[in-house]
Amino acid sequence: MPSNHGAARYYLSGLDRVDWTQVNLDEWLGILAQTGHLPTDANAASMLNLDQLTGTGSRLNPQKYGATTTTRQDTLTRTQGRMTELDVPTVKRQSELEGGGMGPQ
């Protein structure tokens, strides 16, 4: 693989060639623990929830970094909002007409 200043670059296209039985993440996990980024029994619920991972607590929330955009909704709320106008029976019928049946035939 190409190198940059002696450090190997890894690409997603080559990820399937990694022998994961030979990968040791102990050092990485240690760094996460030392910097407070590794969830523990005491803080897992506050770190690993929909809002923290996908909503206003997410690193993807521009408002968290000073942007004046609206508050980021979590994935459940965004998905439910997209589904309210969806006519599921019509979509299912259209899929079946196009040969992409959903479920047992």
Q: Tens digits of per-residue pLDDT, 54-80?
A: 888 887 777 666 666 667 888 999 899
DSSP 11: -
For the chain, strand residue ranges (E) read 3-4, 7-8
Domain tally for the chain? 1
Task: Identify whether 55 is part of a domain.
Answer: yes
**Residue 1 confidence (pLDDT) above 50:** no
Residue 18 falls inside a structural domain: yes
Range of weakest confidence among 6-10, 78-82, 87-91 = 6-10
Residue 103 in domain? no
Parallel, antiparallel or unpaired: strands 7-8 and 3-4: antiparallel
Residue 22 lies in a domain: yes
Residue 28 within a domain: yes
The verdict on residue 104 lying in a domain is no
CB-hemisphere CA count at 13 Å for 41? Answer: 0
- Is residue 105 a part of any domain in this protein? no
Residue 66 lies in a domain: yes
Q: What residues make up the domain containing 49?
A: 7-97
pLDDT, tens digit, 9 for 90 and up, residues 10-48: 677 888 888 989 999 999 999 999 998 888 889 888 888
What is the pTM (predicted TM-score) of this model?
Answer: 0.47
